[in-house]
Amino acid sequence: MLVMLRHSPHGSSWLREGLDVALVGAALGRKVHVLFLGDGVQALIAGQTSGPLGQKGTHPTLDMLEMYDIDTLLVDGESLAQRGLTIDDLQLPVSLVDAASLPRVLAEHSPIYSF
Amino acid sequence: MLVMLRHSPHGSSWLREGLDVALVGAALGRKVHVLFLGDGVQALIAGQTSGPLGQKGTHPTLDMLEMYDIDTLLVDGESLAQRGLTIDDLQLPVSLVDAASLPRVLAEHSPIYSF
Amino acid sequence: MKYALLVQGAPYSQQASHSALRFASALIARGHTLGTVFFYHDGVYNASRLATPPQDEPNLVEAWRRLHQEQGTSLLVCIAAALRRGIIDEREARRHGKEGHAVESPFELTGLGQLIDVHTTHDRLVTFSP
Amino acid sequence: MKYALLVQGAPYSQQASHSALRFASALIARGHTLGTVFFYHDGVYNASRLATPPQDEPNLVEAWRRLHQEQGTSLLVCIAAALRRGIIDEREARRHGKEGHAVESPFELTGLGQLIDVHTTHDRLVTFSP
Amino acid sequence: MLLHILNRSPASSRVPFDALRAMGDNDRLLLLEDGVYGAVAPLAETFASIRGRIFVLKEDLVSRGLEHRQAETMELVDMQGFVALTEQATQTVSWY
Amino acid sequence: MLLHILNRSPASSRVPFDALRAMGDNDRLLLLEDGVYGAVAPLAETFASIRGRIFVLKEDLVSRGLEHRQAETMELVDMQGFVALTEQATQTVSWY
């Protein structure tokens, strides 16, 4: 299954709730790939902290993905570039997806969840 | 007072709830002006209907504004143009606000509510 | 075909619930089955029995309930998303020492695993979000 | 100065409530008063006494309540926005024949007029929205 | 073939552009809710590259006062037409 | 002088552009929540016209891992600095 993450951390619960779907899928034995797209690429920015009121943020969850055997982290290159980011800015090793490959990533996965 | 309406009808309750603030303000004797901006200009498109499940929409409320002595309806011209609309497409007579006047509209009103 | 819907919008704030309910009627009219509606994110607010909409507006909670009665559709509410939002049933209310509850049958609090399983038991999943 | 806040985001879905609570602490630290918090749109969900967040996350309903206790801040909830969203108090529950309620003191269901009046009784209104 | 479902207008959101980039050559796009504002010129030009594969939910167009204003590249479907599109697609992807 | 408060990023939303158009010559803009993504190049160029009048909420920048990445045109304020901005402005306008 593919979990598309399109929302940024801290601003809303979309990212956290999308990650929960990925973790539960993996816990149930599904092969889970994650695609970061749009504002979702900002989930990967290194150096995030918890929120000022103690909101946990999502960066600790990202570090847990590997423990759940979720090791295919795909990142849309154009979304990164639009935001002035490169893979060196990210907290985890990822696979860049270029413009030509993006539709193929979606075509090759089923089911697809979009958060 | 100025009520800025920046959301479209039917998609969410922002527009309805913003209009309610305008109506209640007028009912309490405040002089209320309304500014349609961004997606909010779409509130004025003529020929709207209720939703397929019977959702009331906001077009009947717009027709009630005059009864509440809310007769200054300001519309951001650039927001209209971006959406391919002209004042002939609208259900009510409005005053167009051009780019130079927009900041002045905000400066001249207090309080300002933004929905 | 057997359909499932994922509903993620609050009922009186966004159009997602309306669209999902209309889609539900249409798929049934075309001879399909609606097996499951899964409520996640702010969609869990659709399950509140305390919702008191004005008489002249659609009663969405009632519409979901009718789907269950007429079609046997399961109305599943993600428990983790629901608890923090105050959408608790009698059992959770007791467990957390709260008086009163917001969810009752035919809505069921359940784990996210049920959303994952939807794909093995249904032919299509369509998402309605704010 | 005397401040009022308008909060329009659901508490566990959007950052608006967090920002508003932090702003509240900061303005008090600077010697101002927080007279009123008005909850509108999905902000009314902040008033649900049934919210049951995980222990390791901020309890926002509790944080609002503490503001009232420590500062005397009025916690006003728009009644029209609240009723359709299932945020009802005991009186509304009785009136609509519902058992159970989601709002209790120090949150108060009130009309939109109170939001309009804020400007005559407060020096600043700051809006936190999703 | 995937059916992409979009409820955002290109006048206020960048999500439509992400959806377009993710679409395969045979994929289809359905505009619904506030997405239908994108069916009208000049916003409709956003979707020029998927001519023949773009659909608009009629009920949502009508309730917004946009009936008969959609660009000619847009094919109208009613709710049952939307269901038919989901039958034909292997799966759906929602953009919001 | 008005204080405009923006929680949307120009990468995903058009709202920042509406806010800029509505700003007077002396008005100020505060970026907070997801708005702080706009404080980093190249998105920060969106706000080139209001140099000297644009502020960024530090806590939100830090929690998103963007500390020290903001453009030099951006002035950082903490929550108390945000309150100070609301003291100085006659009123605030929120863009979301």
Task: For F41-67, give the DSSP string.
Answer: TTGGGGGGGGTTSEEEEHHHHHHTT-T
Q: What is the DSSP letter of D2?
A: E
Which residues of chain C make contact with D91, given a CB cutoff of 8 A? none
Mark whether D78 is an active-site residue. yes
**What pLDDT does residue D32 have?**
98
**What pLDDT does residue F18 have?**
98
Q: Which of C64, C67, C72 is nearest to C45 (CA)?
A: C64
Touching subunits of A (3+ CB pairs, under 8 Å) are C, D, E, F
Residues E44/E73, Cβ–Cβ less than 8 Å: yes
pLDDT beneath 50: ranges in chain C? none
DSSP H helical segments within chain A, as ranges?
14-27, 59-64, 77-82, 102-107
Q: Which two tokens stand for residue D32?
A: 């101002």
Tell me how far the alpha carbon of residue A4 is from its chain's centroid: 7
Cα separation, B21 vs A52, whole angstroms: 32
Task: For C19-67, give the DSSP string.
Answer: HHHHHHHHHHHTT-EEEEEEE-GGGGGGG-TT----TTS--HHHHHHHH
Which position has the token pair 């080139």? F48
**What pLDDT does residue C47 have?**
98
Question: Which pLDDT band holds residue F96 (cuts at 50, 70, 90)?
Answer: very high
Which position has the token pair 């960024």? F56
Cα separation, F34 vs A17, whole angstroms: 17
Q: Can you name the residues that pair with F31 across neighbouring β-strands?
A: F6, F56
Cα separation, B64 vs C21, whole angstroms: 30
Question: For residue D96, what are the contacts with CB-CB under 8 A and spacing of at least 6?
Answer: C52, D88
**What pLDDT does residue F44 have?**
98
CATH classification at residue F79: 3.40.1260.10
Cα separation, B42 vs E64, whole angstroms: 8
Which position has the token pair 């038919």? E84
Question: Which pLDDT band holds residue A36 (cuts at 50, 70, 90)?
Answer: very high
**What pLDDT does residue D97 have?**
94
What's the mean per-residue pLDDT of chain F?
98
Closest Cβ–Cβ partner in F86, F87, F94 for D129: F94
Across F11-26, average pLDDT: 98
**pLDDT tens per residue across span A72-99:** 999 999 999 999 999 999 999 999 999 9
User: Do D86 and C51 lie within an 8 Å CB cutoff?
Assistant: yes
Touching subunits of E (3+ CB pairs, under 8 Å) are A, B, C, F
Q: What is the DSSP letter of A22?
A: H
Q: CB distance from D85 to chain C under 8 Å?
A: yes
Residues B15/B115, Cβ–Cβ less than 8 Å: yes
- Domains along chain A with CATH numbers: 2-114 (3.40.1260.10)
CATH classification at residue C40: 3.40.1260.10
**What pLDDT does residue F9 have?**
98
Which residues of chain B make contact with F90, given a CB cutoff of 8 A? 110
Most F CBs within 10 A among B14, B79, B82, B114, hence the mutation to make, goes to B114
pLDDT beneath 50: ranges in chain D? none
**What pLDDT does residue A110 have?**
97
Cα separation, A10 vs A49, whole angstroms: 10
Range of the domain at E22: 2-95
Range of the domain at C33: 2-128
Question: Which pLDDT band holds residue F25 (cuts at 50, 70, 90)?
Answer: very high
Q: CB distance from F23 to chain B under 8 Å?
A: yes
If one counts the domains in chain F, the total is 1
With touching defined as 3 or more inter-chain CB pairs under 8 Å, the answer for chains A and B is no
Q: Please state, in angstroms and as integers, the Cα–Cα distance from residue A102 to each residue in A53, B95, C115, E7, E25, following that order.
A: 37, 46, 25, 21, 12
Sheet holding B2-5, edge to edge: B95-97, B72-76, B33-36, B2-5, B112-114
Annotated catalytic residue: which of C21, C34, C75, C78?
A: C78
pTM summary value: 0.98
User: Do E34 and B11 lie within an 8 Å CB cutoff?
Assistant: yes
